[in-house]
Structure 1
Amino acid sequence: MTPEPALAPGLDDPWAAVPGQERAVAQLRASAADPVHAYLFLGPPGSGATTAARVFAGEVLAATATDEAGARRHRTLAAEDQHPDVNVVRREGASIFVGQATEIVRLASMRPVEGDRKVLILEEFHLVADATAAKLLKTVEEPPGGTVFVILAEDVPDELVTIASRCVRVEFPAITTEVVARVLEDDGLDPARAAEVAAAAHGDVDRARLLAADERFALRVAAWREVPGRLDGTGAVVARTVAELRAAIDDASAALQARHEAEVAEVEERIERYGQRGAGARRLAESHKRQLRRLRTDEVRMGLGELAHAYRDALLAAADAGADGPARAEAAAGALTAINEALDALVRNPNEELLLQALLLRLPPGR
């Protein structure tokens, strides 16, 4: 999932940062003042679950504040991953292993720094190892008083079933392209441009906003669409094409890096204003590195989506291709299989260059 928008200080309704998820938001609004011990947020990347976890954490802590200024401080710091009583745990490898489970148990056992509540946000828990889940079960089921778990997952694999049964489930279905386009229009984007960007963002509002600010977005989309027509079955063309695509992905980071510079200045000001304790600048730097890695993954996913669109068109056109139709249909179907396998491989953080080269070598020319 790309990084989702943080709550801006002064925003009247913190939940406005989670568009298109009215049912989930209503459920969480009702729970924040008196939360249970554990929640499972289920949804695909970009669905708003990540942002909702921060907003919910802020609301859980804000409910204990004695005045509005204190409540606003809790909300703002939680949204920015800067609150001392909000711990975010992310996987360090391909899966969440036992070593991280030990750290989660330790964090859960610690007393809150500022009040009588703390929130542990566990990200990407659909990638949890079986032994890790077993080690965490008792802590999630019966955490120390005041500890609230928010577990984020795209689905519920076998390893997560038992933990999931101990949590309140909150569903975050994929956001529709129409909702994303409406958000962009509310931001001031022309409707035609909003529709184009929303389609490329695949239900991810924050990525859509990033693409909307990217003047070279259309050029990158065009480059991916031209790939089938460039292929001739040779490794030299594949290597050259992959090098150009990766250069375009490098270029795509410019808009995000500009946002990062602004965020650094904002967070430094907030740390000074709210007297934030802890390594706030270090956390932000780590977050920015993750966001840049995620951007590259999202760019590849977008490109693979454009390739899939081209070969789906080729599959439909094969019906009118006469004697060559069956062979063309088989080639297009094989290309779609290869693209889907590459999409599945993205979750394992593969070597980007090798993934693209291996894929393009399998794809038939688009002409």
Structure 2
Amino acid sequence: MGRHQWQPHLGHRDRSCGCGPRGHWLVRVSDVFSSLVGQVGVVNALRRYAEQPSHAYLFTGPPGAGKLEAAVAFAAALECPDHGCGTCDECTRVLRGSHPDVSIVARAGVQWSVDEIREAERVARRRPLHQGHQILILPSIELSTNAAPALLKTLEEPPRRTIFILLADELPEHLVTIESRCVEVNFHSLSTEDILLVLEREGVPAVQARTSAEASAGNLDRARLLANDPQLADRLAAWRRLPEMLTSNSPASLATSTLAALEGAVEPLKARHAEELDQFKTEAEGPGRRRVGGVKEVELRHQREQRRFRTDELRFGLAALTRTYRERMISSLEGVADGDARGRTDARSAIACIEAIASSSDALSLNANESLLLTNLFTQLSRL
């Protein structure tokens, strides 16, 4: 674990910081926040907070919006005598992950356990080794149903020089009281252009970066995974060709081939999960290690992440399919303007296809059976 801290106004929530102007680069390009994109309002708020810190912050927003990266940058700004210059020893240590007073506390399983929260509290009560704060970053704190009371107690009786930075994708009911003890900072999904900037900066080739950004659903983590997927362009092309394929293939066979491609898409994530599980087993069984959470919990978390990836991948494909039918609609309407009597009928058909795709995309939120959903959709499209 690592460490860090800070203090002032308790219970204050800044809900405006997630609604600031959308932009890619920040006003100051040489500080700890310079690598963050798309969250200008958030960054401006964090710069202010670094000068007069409170004892607890709650970063909320969708997955892949940059909450963890922002938390690390914020921790550096809190430790820095100049509030995040980006070049001093304090900033460098935090950004490098080697600062003794800054900890990213990881849970072992699907949910935070009471033991894990108590261990975090124990670290929080250490005196900072440097002159600043003891800082604890706790990701995915919404997954703390059973441990919420222990976490609340820690926030209600914070050590004097400790700062908590809690991260959550959403705010379930059991977090309402915890939320009231924190300064809340709201993040929004990143735009395609935001993500494209990050990928290009990380050296991803332009075409692959663009395709990955468009397929990311605003999730930078997903975009980075897709950027290393050599089959992404082929899957995109297959979705775009689907209307033509429906003229010579059965809806069921196309649904089967689409799901096979989906299985291939999730393989890189499965490989990463396998490595993570092996590492967890090794660390849990090592000498002097106290095992918190079990293999089953890790596997359940992986299943949840893979399910989310599959849903995002299908939405990406359906969006590509929608663009194909929209192009057909526009072409048909242009034909009507040029006197093509059949164009109006073709345009209506394309609009009906777009509506059918939208309904299928909505059904993904209800955990619909993927095979049935695609077969039914492709059957509808073949008849329109």
Of residues 303, 312, 319, the one that matches 1:309 is: 319
Judge conservation of contact 1:37–1:141 (CA < 8 Å) in 2: no
Q: Which amino acid aligns with 2:263?
A: R
- Provide Cα deviations, 1:236-283, integer angstroms capped at 9, x if missing partner: 8866654443234325889x89xx9xxxxxxxxxxxxxxxxxx9xxxx
- Provide Cα deviations, 1:140-173, integer angstroms capped at 9, x if missing partner: 1331122110011122221111111111111212
- Provide Cα deviations, 1:103-133, integer angstroms capped at 9, x if missing partner: 333332333355552211111122331x422
What is the deviation of 1:71? 2.0
Q: Which amino acid aligns with 1:173?
A: H
Give the Cα–Cα distance (whole angstroms) in 1 for the partners of residues 375 and 242 of structure 2.
12
What is the deviation of 1:338? 3.0
Give the Cα–Cα distance (whole angstroms) in 2 for the partners of residues 227 and 160 of structure 1.
44
Residues 44-83 of structure 1 aligned to structure 2 (within 5 Å):
44-63=62-81, 69-78=88-97, 82-83=98-99
The structure-2 alpha-carbon separation of the partners of 1:101 and 1:193, relative to structure 1 and needing over 3 Å to count, comes to: closer
Match in the other structure for 2:37:
19
Judge conservation of contact 1:39–1:168 (CA < 8 Å) in 2: yes
What is the deviation of 1:50? 1.2
Match in the other structure for 2:116:
100
Question: 3-state SS of the aligned residue for 2:147?
Answer: helix
Give the Cα–Cα distance (whole angstroms) in 2 for the partners of residues 227 and 213 of structure 1.
24
Of residues 112, 126, 133, the one that matches 1:117 is: 133
Judge conservation of contact 2:59–2:184 (CA < 8 Å) in 1: yes
Give the Cα–Cα distance (whole angstroms) in 2 for the partners of residues 218 and 124 of structure 1.
32
Judge conservation of contact 1:224–1:306 (CA < 8 Å) in 2: no
Match in the other structure for 1:150:
165
Match in the other structure for 1:272:
none
Corresponding position: 1:30 with 2:48: yes
Unaligned runs of 5+ in 2: 1-28, 277-288, 290-298, 330-343
Corresponding position: 1:128 with 2:144: yes
What is the deviation of 1:201? 2.0
Match in the other structure for 1:88:
104
What is the deviation of 1:40? 0.8
Q: Which amino acid aligns with 2:310?
A: V
Give the Cα–Cα distance (whole angstroms) in 2 for the partners of residues 22 and 332 of structure 1.
34
Deviates more, 1:356-365 or 1:322-331: 322-331
Q: Which amino acid aligns with 2:266?
A: I
Question: 3-state SS of the aligned residue for 2:96?
Answer: helix
Corresponding position: 1:245 with 2:262: yes
Q: How many residues align?
A: 311
- Provide Cα deviations, 1:42-66, integer angstroms capped at 9, x if missing partner: 111121111001111122223399x
Question: 3-state SS of the aligned residue for 1:35?
Answer: coil
What is the deviation of 1:35? 2.0
The structure-2 alpha-carbon separation of the partners of 1:100 and 1:364, relative to structure 1 and needing over 3 Å to count, comes to: farther
Give the Cα–Cα distance (whole angstroms) in 1 for the partners of residues 124 and 43 of structure 2.
25
Give the Cα–Cα distance (whole angstroms) in 2 for the partners of residues 208 and 238 of structure 1.
25
The structure-2 alpha-carbon separation of the partners of 1:192 and 1:361, relative to structure 1 and needing over 3 Å to count, comes to: closer
Match in the other structure for 2:191:
176
Larger helix proportion of the pair: 1
Judge conservation of contact 2:318–2:357 (CA < 8 Å) in 1: no
Judge conservation of contact 1:123–1:153 (CA < 8 Å) in 2: yes
Give the Cα–Cα distance (whole angstroms) in 1 for the partners of residues 348 and 76 of structure 2.
63
The structure-2 alpha-carbon separation of the partners of 1:170 and 1:302, relative to structure 1 and needing over 3 Å to count, comes to: same
Match in the other structure for 1:300:
310
Task: State TM-score, norm by structure 2.
Answer: 0.62
What is the deviation of 1:232? 5.1
Match in the other structure for 1:336:
361
Judge conservation of contact 2:322–2:354 (CA < 8 Å) in 1: no
Judge conservation of contact 1:41–1:49 (CA < 8 Å) in 2: yes
What is the deviation of 1:206? 5.3
Give the Cα–Cα distance (whole angstroms) in 2 for the partners of residues 36 and 21 of structure 1.
21
Q: Which amino acid aligns with 1:37?
A: H
Task: State TM-score, norm by structure 1.
Answer: 0.65
Corresponding position: 1:41 with 2:59: yes
Superposition RMSD in Å: 4.6
Judge conservation of contact 2:229–2:268 (CA < 8 Å) in 1: no
